[in-house]
Amino acid sequence: MEPIALSAALASFTDLWSPRIVTAVNDYDVRVAKVEGEHVWHVHDHTDEFFLVLDGELHISLREPDGERTVVLPKGSLFTVARGTEHKPYAPIPTEILVLEPTGTLTVGDRHDDVPDHVDATTGHALA
């Protein structure tokens, strides 16, 4: 492979909540996505999910054993959602994120609320 510039990868599409796979690392995919507004409550029963905010600001609401909370990730911050934790991402402004999870992981998890039209239920798309 050749090096990939995040800026070029992100410039290659405009869809929101529709991740592109930028590289594979063993049986994991590194994806980038443009997001704004609400995603959907969902849970990955068997895997953690890593988020890095490249630009903008990502909020992730979490339903944890002790109750519900929302973590706020400004640009340049990272967070791992633990497997089995219901969560809902939300971006108050146009935001770009890098996500890491096992290849084949669905954006809406193993269980989820009704998926709104603006959310792409996908295991990630190839870069154009």
Q: Which helix (H) or strand (E) holds 102?
A: strand 86-102
- Min dist CB 78 to a copy of itself, Å, is 5
Identity of the residue, 3 or 65, whose beta carbon is nearer to a copy of itself in the bound complex: 3
Residues 6 or more apart in contact with residue 71 via CB below 8 angstroms: 59, 60, 62, 79
Interface with a copy of itself (CB under 8 A), residue total 34
Sign for the CA dihedral angle at 49, 20, 124, 117 comes to positive
Identity of the residue, 3 or 114, whose beta carbon is nearer to a copy of itself in the bound complex: 3
Residues that bind a copy of itself (CB under 8 A): 1-7, 22-26, 28, 30, 47-50, 52, 71-74, 76-80, 82-83, 98, 100-102
